[in-house]
């Protein structure tokens, strides 16, 4: 989630992006408003008017979600937390934090800020709606204002459901964190509450499908499934961060990696290196310096009958900031880089030399062992 995103604009130091999934929800919102909500609540208008109202209403919802997420981000900034990106995706938006809040108080105020913003927007649009009726503005205007007032109230209510990691779930975690003085235990408890809510929402979805409300039921199931998955991911993400806190690359890297000269053929590489040392990534050297890496994926891209005609240096990936890292980098930063680039292995370098390789597999095995011992 949130990897395929497009930056839209930058405001108050925050970059607002849109995930590819938002195009799906945007179409569904416009379509449902134009074909369902507005014709059902405001009859006898032209189809063109309904579509125009739908587009304006969807843009208003878009702006409302951005304001909701900005409220989180601004409170986070006030307390010194780093949030640079706000991303809209299929189920709303998220202000991407690089670290957990430092105290239950910070968590509470950050979490509650979003629903409060949505509630205030609901009051604002409701007031504008009544004023528009009073001065006699046309139905398309009053209809859109009424919709925006209602949808923001629903956003505030939905986000206060105690299903971690929604705002309500984070409020619940902040209270449990304050009571137990243990963020990990509080996260685990909040995640379990979220799982109960998720299963209940999925059950409601199936009930709706049985009652011939297929589209509505499908949305309930999707939302419940998302909350179920997000609760598990959030808890395990916290476990990862805490387990590797203060630990550096050099604690976990495989030292003294096998290097490959750039001028040998692929056939020689396969025969004398790959089959002898069954690793999935090898550093490539040229003039006694690291110039790149070669992986099994790179080899498989070349037909085996052509291996004699290609050198390792010809098909290697040049060493760059995405596939290499220094030994004094924190593990959490390495995991963030792996998540961003999609790579499961990073070359560890120092002064132009390869001094190790760090793999996601080794880190996950450490986590599995640690959790088995501690829980």
* pLDDT beyond 50 at 313: yes
| Closest of 164, 225, 166 to residue 190, by C-alpha | 164
Residue 2 scores a pLDDT above 50? no
Which of 15-19, 87-91, 107-111, 257-261 shows the lowest per-residue confidence on average (mean pLDDT)? Answer: 87-91
Range in 67-71, 111-115, 128-132, 229-233 with the lowest mean pLDDT: 229-233
Using the structure block, give the residue that is written with the tokens 């929402």: 201
SS3 (DSSP) at 375: coil
What superfamily does domain 249-374 belong to in CATH?
CBS-domain (3.10.580.10)
CB neighbours of 42 closer than 8 A, spacing ≥ 6?
53, 139, 140, 143
Q: What is the pTM of this model?
A: 0.65
Best mean pLDDT range from 72-86, 140-154, 254-268, 313-327? 140-154
pLDDT tier, 1 (very low <50, low <70, confident <90, very high otherwise): very low
**Through-space distance between the first and last CA atoms of the chain, rounded to whole angstroms:** 28
CA separation (Å) from 237 to 8, 174, 303, 374? 27, 17, 40, 16
Write down the H helix ranges in 160-211: 167-180, 183-210
Tell me the backbone φ, ψ of residue 356, rounded to 5 degrees: 175, 175
Contacts of 326 (CB under 8 A, 6+ apart): 249, 348, 349, 350
Edge-to-edge strand list for the sheet holding 83-89: 5-11, 14-19, 83-89, 92-97
Alpha helices per DSSP H over 211-323? 214-243, 266-269, 296-300, 312-315
Q: How far apart are CA 242 and CA 247, in angstroms?
A: 10
**Segment 166-201, tens digit of pLDDT:** 788 888 888 888 888 877 778 778 888 888 888 888
Lay out the sheet containing 260-261: strands in order across.
260-261, 281-286, 289-295, 317-318
CA proximity to 169, closest of 188, 182, 150, 152: 188
Domain ranges of the chain: 5-243, 249-374
Interior/surface letters 136-164, b for 16+ CB within 10 angstroms, e for the rest: eeebbebbbbbbbbbbbbebbebbbbbbb
CA distance 173 to 66: 24
Q: What is the DSSP string of 107-119?
A: HHHHHHHHHHHHH
What are the angstrom distances between the C-alpha of 371 and each of 181, 234, 236, 249, 366? 20, 16, 10, 20, 9
Give, in degrees to the nearest 5, the angle at Cα 115 between 114 and 116. Answer: 90
**What are residue 216's DSSP bridge partners?**
none
Residue 91: is its pLDDT beyond 60? no
> Which helix (DSSP H) or strand (DSSP E) does residue 367 occupy?
helix 360-374
């Amino acid at each position: 989630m949130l990897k395929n995103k497009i930056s839209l604009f930058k405001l108050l130091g925050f970059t607002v992006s849109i995930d590819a999934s938002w195009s799906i929800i945007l179409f569904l919102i416009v379509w449902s408003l134009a074909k369902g909500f507005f014709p059902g609540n405001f009859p006898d208008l032209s189809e063109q008017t309904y579509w125009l109202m739908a587009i304006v209403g969807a843009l208003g919802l878009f702006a409302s979600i951005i304001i909701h997420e900005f409220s989180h981000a601004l409170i986070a900034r006030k307390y010194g937390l780093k949030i640079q990106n706000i991303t809209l995706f299929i189920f709303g938006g998220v202000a991407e934090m690089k670290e957990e809040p430092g105290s239950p108080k910070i968590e509470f105020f950050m979490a509650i800020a979003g629903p409060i913003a949505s509630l205030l927007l609901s009051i604002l649009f409701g007031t504008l709606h009544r004023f528009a009726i009073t001065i006699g503005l046309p139905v398309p205007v009053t209809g859109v204002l009424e919709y925006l007032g209602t949808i923001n109230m629903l956003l505030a209510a939905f986000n206060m459901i105690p299903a971690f990691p929604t705002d309500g779930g984070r409020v619940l975690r902040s209270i449990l964190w304050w009571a137990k003085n243990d963020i990990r235990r509080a996260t685990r408890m909040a995640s379990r509450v979220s799982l109960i809510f998720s299963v209940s929402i999925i059950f409601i979805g199936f009930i709706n499908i049985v009652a011939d409300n297929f589209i509505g039921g499908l949305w309930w199931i999707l939302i419940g499934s998302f909350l179920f998955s997000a609760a598990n991911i959030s808890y395990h993400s916290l476990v990862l961060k805490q387990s590797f806190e203060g630990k550096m690359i050099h604690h976990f890297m495989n030292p003294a990696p096998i290097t490959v000269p750039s001028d040998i053929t692929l056939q020689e590489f396969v025969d004398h290196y790959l089959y002898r040392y069954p690793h999935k990534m090898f550093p490539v050297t040229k003039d006694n310096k690291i110039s790149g890496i070669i992986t099994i994926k790179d080899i498989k891209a070349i037909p085996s009958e052509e291996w004699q005609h290609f050198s390792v240096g010809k098909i290697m990936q040049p060493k760059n900031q995405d596939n290499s890292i220094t030994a004094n980098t924190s593990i959490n930063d390495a995991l963030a880089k792996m998540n961003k680039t999609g790579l499961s292995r990073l070359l560890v370098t120092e002064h132009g030399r390869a001094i190790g390789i760090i793999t996601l597999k080794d880190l996950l095995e450490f986590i599995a062992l640690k959790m088995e011992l501690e829980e």
